Structures are given as structure tokens and as C-alpha cells.
Structure 1
Amino acid sequence: MTTPQVDIVLPCLNEAAALPWVLSRIPAGYRAIVVDNGSTDDSADVARAHGALVVAETRRGFGAAAHAGLLAATAPVVAFCDADSSMDPADLPPMVALLDSGAADLVLGRRRPTIRGAWPVHARLANRALAILMRRATGIPLHDLGPMRVARRQQLLGFDLRDRRSGYPLEMVLRAASAGLRVVEVDAPYSPRVGRSKVTGTLRGTVIAVKDMSRLLRELPR
């Protein structure tokens, strides 16, 4: 088997309906790592049938699933993307190109809704408030803590990320900023997800995410 150029980590909880489209959009030379975070549908079987490497992570939480995927990755570059079809893996190569050119060390996909209602209002408002706090904490003009991101595997492992819930993406940005790395944000189309959201698509999930991220920001050295 040819060594992949990029491993795409796809945290997954009951995404059997979305996975066929998502996995059909994996760019050539990339490998999909679907991390099954306790699905009760046939997500794992669907992922395998569509050529993905499947990793099981029994500890619930976005960070737990994302980190399990990172540990399973072997490619020099690792990307993260939701498995719900809200974001298109085919949009990743230009982000990877920024790493290859030396223009960035961590590339974030800023969600740009493709249609009205793709991004629930409560989730958008929470993201906006957290983005303001993130800019203050890092000095980097960022606008989104979106799920699509790209970085070098060794740098990500060196961050020693500890959060295993919704704060994982924010912790990644904070560690990169404190290390003096170049964090760059690019636009990424954002579409309505397939199926029911478990995190920011629900009010309860949004509240949990805000609490997790607010805790990380409070713990920053003053």
C-alpha cells in the first residue's frame, strides 16, 4: 500500500448516512481515518466498505475521537474534518499547500455557510464570542474554531493535547500560538449536515462546548 501524503481524521458518532458521500470526496493520495466514537448504527462497517481505516475510541468526546485519530495517523500531514458532510474533504488540498509552501504551520477552515440555516444561529453566536476571546488570547486575527484544520503530525503530537471534549480544537490553536507557529485561516464552504448534530447543532451541545473552551481560556497564564 502506498504511504498516504495526508491522513484525514474523521471523528464519527452515528454518521452512516453521511459517510458514503464524505469518503467519496477524499482526495487522491490522502487516507481517511474514521474514528468510531461509540456509534450504534453501522458507521464502522460503512466506513470500511468505502476504504477507510477504522479506529475505535470508546471514551466519548470530540477530543477523545480526534486524538485517537491523530495517534493512528502515520502520514507527515494530518487533517481533521467532520464526518457529517457539512464540510468537503475535497477542499483540503489548498490548505495542505499552505503547509507545503511554508506559509503556515496550522491552517484552519473558516466556515462559510453555503445556504441560509446551514449554521444554527445559537452556534454562530457562541462561536463569534469565543473567537473574540481567542483573538485576545493569541493576538491572531481568527474568526472561527471550525472542525476543518491541517497541520504536521509531529508538531501536533508535540503539543501534548489533553482536552478530550469540545475544547480540543481550541487547545490546538492555543498551543500553536504559544509555540510561535504560523496559524492561518482560510474560507471553507459549510453545508447543512446529514442527520442529527451532537455538538453545536444543539443548544445543549453548544453550552457544553462553550464551557469546555471557556475553561481552557481561564487556565491561560496571565
Structure 2
Amino acid sequence: MRLIHVIIPAYNEEKSIKQVITAIPQELVTEIIVVNNNSTDQTALVAQAAGATVLFEPKPGYGNACLSGIQYCLAKPEQARPHIIVFVDGDFSDYPEEMPLLVQPILDNRADLVIGSRALGHREKGAMLPQQIFGNWLATNLLKLFYGAAFTDLGPFRAIRTNALVQLNMQDRTYGWTVEMQLKAAKLKLRCVEVPVTYRKRIGFSKISGTVKGTFLAGYKIITTIFRYL
């Protein structure tokens, strides 16, 4: 039996987190982990009531939340450690019910890392702002130019073989998390696959793309991360 854990980084997602958890195919996963990233609302209580394991990460930052979830998974006894870890956002913009599409290439031993591509799939009108679309285009083209990586998206909905994730030695604590994973996977020549996924408008307000400051900081961090690892 392949053990699959889901890590959901969450900052003030009390309005959406239950829908994310309940949409995850329960027969597919062995544990759902919500990392409450210094939320000031009821995210943790709602997630716990929905059946998730809730971790508390007081240091703000998307990467910090993901690293906290990984540390929890790796600290388990070997027989309880997941073989595959899935990452999905807590804002209900992704369709968690599409998770089988992401894990199947790993289960079939065709991939080590699978990215859910919003560029290849269907996006609801307005689900991604123009600056997000441009940022994804720029970042993925830089990945192709400098790392030979044929990605179309830096989508947060992704699945990875746990032993491959350990190899990546992830470090980023904020906005560079997704691109760091993809460029390191390319450098290590891991088997990377993209699958089309559906994307809708998120519930609530985006803390990154919803502000000029957040958009600028995220873009700056992604670009500098790409060049740092050359």
C-alpha cells in the first residue's frame, strides 16, 4: 500500500479550508495535514473539525508552512512515513478531487514530481490575474532557458515522491518555494511530468497577487531564486 499525505499551507483560510479538506478523495490519502501559518482567524479550528491534522507554524511564509509539514511527515516511523506527498493550497482555487491525476504518474513509476498545470488545463475567467499569468510565463521560460526544464506553470497543486523531496533539500521559506522545487528537480534530472488541472477563483482575498507589494515581492523572489541556483 502506498501511503499518501497531503500538506495544505494555510493563512487565514477559515472560509475555504473545510471545502478543500472535504473535496480531497479520502480513499486515496492516509493523512491530511493543515499547517496553520500564523492565522488570526479560525482556520485551525475549522480544519481540525473537518478531520485534518493541524500543525502550527508561527513564522509567516509559504515555504515555512511547507517545510513544517515536511518535517512532520519525515519524523514519522519508517512504516508510517508517506511514499508520496501532495501539496495543495487552502483557498479552494484548485480542485482537490483531481488529486488522482497527480499521483497516478508516480504510482505508475513514470514520474518523481508531478505539477498540476493551470496553463494546460481550464482556468475560470479571472482566476489568475494578468500579473500572475505573465509571471508564470516568464519564470517557466527562464527555467527552460537556464535549466532545460519544460514546465508551463509554477502551480501550487503538485505531488512528489517523498524520497525525491528529501533529495531536493528544500530551503526557501517564502515565495520562491515552488520554483525552487522545480529547478532543483531539473538539476537533479528527476522525472518531471505536468498534468492539466482545473483552476477557479479563490475564496477570499489573495495575500500575494491581491496586492501590489505582494505581487512585486513574489516576482522578485521567484526571479532571484532562479538565478541563485545557476
> Which whole-Å deviations, capped at 9, do the CAs of 1:69-122 have from their partners, x for residues lacking one?
111123110000000000021111121110011211100011145321111111
Letter in 1 for 2:134: L
Letter in 2 for 1:175: K
Check whether the contact 2:7–2:86 (CA below 8 A) recurs between aligned residues. Answer: yes
In 2: Cα distance, 1:218 partner to 1:179 partner: 16
1:69 alignment counterpart: 69
In 1: Cα distance, 2:141 partner to 2:107 partner: 29
Letter in 1 for 2:90: A
Q: Per the alignment, do residues 4 and 51 of structure 1 end up closer, same or farther by CA in structure 2, a change over 3 Å counting?
A: farther
In 1: Cα distance, 2:210 partner to 2:155 partner: 13
2:221 alignment counterpart: 212
2:37 alignment counterpart: 37
Q: 2:23 aligns with which of 22, 25, 38?
A: 25
Q: 2:127 aligns with which of 115, 118, 135?
A: 118
Compute the TM-score of the two structures, normalised by the length of structure 1: 0.94
CA drift of 1:6 comes to 1.0
Residue identity over aligned pairs, in percent, reads 33
Q: 2:115 aligns with which of 68, 84, 108?
A: 108
Q: Where in structure 2 are the equivalents of 1:66-215 lying within 5 Å?
A: 66-73=66-73, 74-111=81-118, 112-215=121-224
Letter in 2 for 1:150: A
Gaps in structure 2 of 5+ consecutive residues: 74-80
Cα-Cα RMSD:
1.5
Check whether the contact 1:108–1:150 (CA below 8 A) recurs between aligned residues. Answer: yes
Deviates more, 1:33-42 or 1:121-130: 121-130
Aligned length in residues: 219
Q: Per the alignment, do residues 48 and 150 of structure 1 end up closer, same or farther by CA in structure 2, a change over 3 Å counting?
A: same
Letter in 2 for 1:185: E
Check whether the contact 1:10–1:80 (CA below 8 A) recurs between aligned residues. Answer: yes
Deviates more, 1:36-45 or 1:117-126: 117-126
Q: Per the alignment, do residues 139 and 155 of structure 1 end up closer, same or farther by CA in structure 2, a change over 3 Å counting?
A: same
Compute the TM-score of the two structures, normalised by the length of structure 2: 0.91
